[in-house]
Amino acid sequence: MNANARLTLLTRWGFATRGLLYLVIAVLILRTGRAEDPAGALEFLGQGGGQFLLAVLTIGLLAYGIWRLADAALDIERHGSDRKGWVERVGAGVSGVVHLALAWQAVKLMRGAALSGDSTREGTQMALQLPGGRALVMVGAAVLFALGVVQLVKAAKGSFLRYLDPRMGQRPWVRWSGRAGYAARGIVFLITGWLLLEAGIEEQASATGGMARVLAWLDPPFDLIVGAGLLGFGLFSLVEARFRRLHDVPINAVTRRFA
């Protein structure tokens, strides 16, 4: 197995890991009303599956995070150089950083450390303490709004299907699980952006939060509707783990560039 084949296998592992985390988040909110984010889902799985499962998830999160960062830097998925393409690449970069941070949280759980809390709230608090921190928070809110709109556009157009094997992309349950998932993520991004905007205006980090805060903020039945959408996204991620068409990372070109 050559380097590209190994990277492709690890990336598929990463998609499966992402899918599992979203399934856990969805099942917890739908069955118990418990609002969690991916870090909370990691903690939940660690309690039930122990060190081995956390190690498996860590590898998947690392692989997915690195692949997303490589896509942002090298345009592996061929988004293009227009404004839409750059928005996609910025989103890939943000996703890569988030999943690498999740991998580090999984490592902390393996070492027996407790997760400190909502990373979005903590990051906002740190930003507000910096010179120009209020402006930084506003920029973060704008980025989240943009990402939310992109997710909703993907849900409406079904453009995410172009990455799948056409035979799977034509199946109705695959299309609708993807549409529901991207729509739910779009709503989460928009609400997170709104909460972050309020935090910037009021200079109060406690007003913001990540996915768990959004799910807790929503009143029934809207929390369950978004939860059902996240369940769809988890299922679609598992489909991607097997049937997504992945372009090779240009390892030789990157190696030559650094050499």
Beta bridge partners of 164: 244
| Number of neighbouring beta carbons within 10 Å of residue 77 | 21
Residue 258, phi then psi, degrees to nearest 5: -75, -30
Distance (Å, whole) CA 11 – CA 6: 9
Range of the domain at 197: 3-258
- Quote the number of domains for the chain: 1
What local confidence, expressed as pLDDT, does residue 116 receive? 66
> Encoding tokens for residue 53?
């499962």
The string of pLDDT tens digits covering residues 134-173 is 888 899 999 899 889 999 999 999 999 999 999 999 999 9
pLDDT at position 3, please?
Answer: 66
pTM of the model: 0.90
Per the structure block, which two tokens stand in for 60?
């998947």
pLDDT in tens, 202-218: 878 777 888 999 999 99
**3-class SS shares of the chain: helix, strand, coil, % to 5:** 80, 0, 20
Q: Is the peptide bond before 221 cis (omega within 30 degrees of 0)?
A: yes
Q: With H, G, I as helix, E, B as strand and everything else as coil, classify residue 1.
A: coil
pLDDT digits (tens, 9 = 90+) for 5-44: 777 888 899 999 999 999 999 999 999 999 999 999 999 9
Q: Tell me the per-residue pLDDT of 61-76, one tens digit each, with 9 for 90 and over.
A: 999 998 899 888 888 8
The 10 Å Cβ neighbour count of residue 115 is 15
Q: Residue 258 above 50 pLDDT?
A: no
